[in-house]
Amino acid sequence: MTDAARKPDAIPKPPLDARLTEQRNPRSMRIDQLSTLEIVDLINAEDRLVAAAVSDEREAIARAIDLVVDCLRQGGRLLYVGAGTSGRLGVLDASEMPPTYRTDPDMVQGVMAGGFEALLRAQEGAEDHPEDGAAAMDGRSVGPQDFVLGIAASGTTPYVHGALKRARELGARTGFLLCTYPTEDLLRTHDVVIAPLVGPEVITGSTRMKAGTATKMVLNTISTSSMVKLGKVYGNLMVDLQVTCQKLQDRGERILMDTLAVPREEAERLLDAAGGHVKTAIVMGRLGLDAAAARRRLQEKGGAIAALVGKPK
């Protein structure tokens, strides 16, 4: 054994905190001495690790999607529960479902520690109360048809654990999304655990960075895939959108021009007759039906447009 090996500081020490999200990143320890361009390059290099970490969790993500779709088909809901950045990302994903896929606002919900005010101004202490998370589940009448996904980069947020514990007591299926090593207890407790290991943050503990990016990617994949499997996408077109502004009016008309091979004037007429609902307008144009008949046929097929009019050309 060498003299260096005998020295106490040569013996690897366990991290002060076992959570991966709280460990120091050896590649960024001198970030405060770098040039602006070097800081940009360092952050970008770390961000490149995120997609691979999310890909490693592909099977767990697919399992979560199947659970979500099963619940939604039974009339249940998808609820995201989180605090801080994790909570805000859940609220963001949920809020984008109605305009994008014409879902009922209650179908996908974001539940955040501290409520609405915490969206605009950090209320870090709000995450420390598991009883508040439990109360949020009671307040939303969570039940067996619902899927509740807890989001906590560190895996330890009391509010999230309190919500999930109560959700399971109420019969809901549950999942956990975190960016550190999941415990055996976590794996045993929930129906699915998604743990993209993005590594320590550039700024120690700043989980709005890589962990936040990974969370956004996972939530995008879960919600988008669920909507696809529920028949709200035709080919890769956003056909279940409801026209509510000029941008969506233009997009809806272009979708009809593409799928029905009609000029813009006819696309505009069909969209207006369909009450601004693109999917209904496609069925009207393809099958020669009025709006009421098109809606009825879609309902008979559970909203799956391809089963009604065939694959997109």
pLDDT tens digits along 255-281: 999 999 999 999 999 999 999 999 999
Could you tell me if 178 and 277 lie in one domain?
no
Interior angle at CA 125, CA 124 and CA 131, nearest 5: 125
Number of domains in the chain: 2
Task: Kindly report the pTM of this predicted structure.
Answer: 0.88
CA distance 163 to 131: 8
- Work out the percent of the chain whose per-residue pLDDT is above 70: 94
Range of the structural domain that residue 269 is part of: 246-309
Could you tell me if 189 and 286 lie in one domain?
no
Over residues 165-185, mean pLDDT: 97
Catalytic option among 96, 117, 184, 265: 96
Could you tell me if 191 and 288 lie in one domain?
no
The CATH number linked to 286 is 1.10.8.1080
| CB 134 within 8 Å of CB 166 | yes
Q: Which of 172, 200, 229 is a domain's end point?
A: 229
Average pLDDT over the chain reads 91
Tokens of 160: 């999230």
Could you tell me if 188 and 282 lie in one domain?
no
Catalytic site includes residue 266: no
- In a domain, residue 282? The reply is yes
pLDDT tens digits along 206-218: 999 999 999 999 9
Catalytic site includes residue 124: no
Catalytic option among 46, 127, 201, 253: 127
- In a domain, residue 250? The reply is yes
pLDDT grade for 36, boundaries at 50, 70 and 90: very high
Over residues 67-71, mean pLDDT: 98
- In a domain, residue 9? The reply is no
For residue 242, what is the DSSP state?
B
161: nearest Cα among 196, 134, 195, 199: 134
Q: CB neighbours of 2 closer than 8 A, spacing ≥ 6?
A: none
Could you tell me if 72 and 168 lie in one domain?
yes
- In a domain, residue 152? The reply is yes
CA distance 98 to 241: 8
pLDDT(234) > 70: yes
Tokens of 13: 């020490």
DSSP per-residue string spanning 142-173:
--TT-EEEEE-TTS--HHHHHHHHHHHHTT-E
